[in-house]
Amino acid sequence: MTMASVDEAADWPTQPGGPTRPVRVDQAADALPRVLPPAAGVPGDLRAHLSRHGRPPYQGGHGRLIQAAEQAGLTGRGGGAFPVHRKLAIVARARGRKVIVANGAESEPASRKDALLLRVAPHLVLDGLQLAAEAIGASEAHLYLHPGIAPEVARALRERKAARLDRIGVKLTEAPQRFLAGQESALVNRLGGGPAVPTFVPPRVSERGLGGAPTLVQNVETLAHLALIARYGPHWFRGLGTPEEPGSMLTTVHTEDGTHVVEAEIGTSLRTLIAAKANAHGLDCSAVLIGGFHGAWLPAAKAATLTLDNKALQPHGAALGAGVIAALPAGRCGLIESALVARYLAAESAGQCGPCLNGLPRMAAALAELAGAELAGAELAGAELAGRGHRRQVPADLKRWAGLVTGRGACTHPDGTARFVRSTLTVFADEIALHARGQCSATQCSATSRTPFLPLPPGMPTTEDDWI
């Protein structure tokens, strides 16, 4: 079995309860789920967690967990895919006060995995946080998270305190609902009391972060995997996945039939991944968005031949990112969907860097023009798409702007947006030509429909308070 999944609504009982005597599950190396708990059970139950995994195995020293992470080949699951052992080592080597932050902000609107993980398996994440804190010698720990799940996580922390599982206290901070809120330097800025906007790097937060102290920032899923590696070892971790990209990962799969968080072995075929949660209707898609709003579109036929690993995806201009896989249903217009996403990305710019501030809104407006519509608030106006066409230089403008913004901001927001826009121009070239003639391939128009396929938060930030 290469996949196991948990649906937010379907697989979990809505009231506490479940088996009175939790059954210990042997964690075979090739078994799933790993970070997600087995389907039946109370979400976030400490007894079930302890029964399945035992107490956190504190290593009693700095180097051992880092070595295990290196041998396991664990990479970050927050989108950056940076080798975890290297980040741990940099901070561990530093002197003085050190800080660790578990990043559960999940600012990518299309991703649900971190929120779910914190709801159903908080103890695994919190184990990982404590173990990583021990490994780097951190004296201060934070968990940065979505406002909605803070009460449940706080409850989990209280249970752990009663069971004396934690060595250092964990401070919870709610992240604002901004796309950049989870960015490393924005996160440190926020935790320091300021707005969640990125700062200029160098120095990296691992050298000078919160309060000037070296700060380790790790995604909550990464910490969950780390907690398992500490118990079962690197060899066990490599029981799934590919040699270059070992392990399992959480993905958020969007199909016509809904959104599901699936824990899958790295290297799983994308076709299988999408098919697992879609009925036959859901398989009828025209394009797949991989990696989220900073990711890239792939034509459905191409995506069907690829697997869930960066080695397979990168030659085609895509990357795993935070594990978002969105299979655009055949009846939807990818051009309009992309124009809406581009508008969201532009609105979420911190507005600190000239190229991003100027380039992203122009790209969004241009993409809307290609779609035969106009930007109007959070929607696109011009639903009839009646033969408006677009000026001839719009695609050229888009390509020029995408090139101009890349690499010229303090963070990678313009780069990711440019990547998304470029892939839209490539994959939906036929759609663009159709729209230029006033037509559209969609049977269900996202411009008229109140609910676009890709999830987009309403509203946009206008004041400083929106970033706190």
- Of 174 and 397, the one with the shorter C-beta distance to another protein is 397
Is residue 467 close enough to count as binding another protein by CB under 8 A? yes
Tokens representing residue 263 in the block: 């824990």
Q: Going by C-beta distance under 8 Å and a sequence separation of 6 or more, which residues neighbour residue 110?
A: 252, 254, 289, 292, 293, 324, 326, 454, 455
Options 174, 284, 397, 415; binder of another protein; rule CB under 8 A: 397
Contacts (CB under 8 A) with another protein, residues 156-215: 195, 197-200
The CA distances from residue 64 to 93, 192, 225, 229, 258, in Å, are 14, 31, 16, 11, 42
Q: Which of residues 27-86 bind another protein (CB under 8 A)?
A: none
Per CB under 8 A, the list member of 113, 343, 422, 435 interacting with another protein is 343
Question: Between residues 133 and 373, which has the closer beta carbon with respect to another protein?
Answer: 373
Kindly indicate which of the ranges 19-27, 163-171, 256-264, 359-367 contains the residues binding another protein, using the contact rule CB under 8 A. 359-367
Closest CB to another protein among residues 220, 368: 368
Distance between CA atoms of residues 177 and 243, nearest Å: 36
Using the rule CB under 8 A, is 379 a contact of another protein? no
HSE at residue 282, side-chain half, CA atoms within 13 A, is 21
| Shortest distance in whole angstroms from residue 130 CB to another protein | 35
- Cβ of residue 291: shortest distance to another protein, in angstroms? 23
d(CA 297, CA 313): 11
Answer yes or no whether residue 404 interacts with another protein by CB under 8 A. yes
**Using rule CB under 8 A, residue 422 touches another protein:** no
| Nearest distance from C-beta of residue 355 to another protein, angstroms | 6
What are the C-alpha distances in Å from 72 to residues 65, 242, 262, 309, 393? Answer: 10, 11, 22, 16, 50
The answer to the question of residue 284 lying near another protein (CB under 8 A) is no
CB of 362 to another protein, least distance (A): 6
Could you say whether residue 354 binds another protein (CB under 8 A)?
yes
Tokens at residue 324, please?
Answer: 């978002």
Quick check: 424 and 297 in contact, CB under 8 A? yes
Do 254 and 274 meet the contact criterion of CB atoms below 8 Å apart? no
Give which of 339, 342, 333 is closest to 286, Cα–Cα: 333
SS3 for 96?
A: coil
Question: Judged by CB under 8 A, which of 51, 71, 352, 449 binds another protein?
Answer: 352
Which position among 71, 269, 358, 412 is part of the footprint of another protein (CB under 8 A)?
Answer: 358
Verify binding: residue 464, another protein, rule CB under 8 A.
Answer: yes
The nearest distance, CB 71 to another protein, in angstroms, is 32
Q: Please state the closest distance from residue 174 (CB atom) to another protein, in A.
A: 18
353 binds another protein (CB under 8 A): yes
196 near 189, Cβ under 8 Å?
Answer: yes
317 near another protein, rule: CB under 8 A: no
Torsion sign (Cα): 333, 339, 340, 344? positive
- What's the Cα-to-Cα distance from 48 to each of 13, 19, 196, 276, rounded to whole Å? 15, 10, 36, 27
Taking the complex as a whole, the smallest distance from the CB of residue 217 to another protein amounts, in Å, to 20
171: phi then psi, degrees, rounded to nearest 5:
-95, 130
Smallest separation, CB 450 to another protein (Å):
20
Question: Is 306 one of the binding residues for another protein (CB under 8 A)?
Answer: no
Among 25, 408, 436, 439, binds another protein (CB under 8 A): 408
Question: At its nearest, how many Å lie between another protein and the CB of residue 352?
Answer: 5
Residue 2 or 189: the one with the smaller Cβ distance to another protein is 189
Q: Is the peptide bond before 202 cis (omega within 30 degrees of 0)?
A: yes
Peptide bond into 147 cis (omega under 30): no
Given the rule CB under 8 A, which residues bind another protein?
195, 197-200, 343, 346-362, 364-365, 369, 374-376, 393, 397, 404, 408-410, 460-464, 466-467
